[in-house]
Amino acid sequence: MSSEEFNEIVSFKEKLDFLELETNWIVINEENFELYFPNQAKIIVNRNDDFKLIINNLESALASEPLKTKLKDEFEKLEYLDLRFDNRVVYKFKE
């Protein structure tokens, strides 16, 4: 991993913290990285994507229903937020 990519990941995590999505650890593999919350839920990101665009997509999703309310009321049931898809945030909550 280049120092530039490392710095981008650190910056991405800091932006998540600013959005009150504080994660505890990061797992990095060849294609993706995953940021984990204390409840074991994760955010999945493609390492090759534009991190600024991903943050913008995430901010839009967090401000929209039904995700906004579900995160507020049922955050402990969150399994993942998948940010690997163009202009979409895919998410799953435990039933």
Domain that holds residue 51: 3-93
- Residues 10 and 16: their CA atoms lie apart, in Å, by 10
User: Is it the case that residue 8 has pLDDT exceeding 90?
Assistant: no
Residue 19 CA: distances (Å) to CA of 3, 14, 37, 56? 24, 9, 13, 11
22 band by pLDDT with thresholds 50, 70 and 90:
confident
| CB atoms inside a 10 Å sphere around CB 89 | 19
pLDDT recorded at residue 76: 94
Number of structural domains (the chain) is 1
Q: What is the pTM of this model?
A: 0.87
pLDDT tens digits along 38-62: 989 999 999 989 888 999 999 999 9
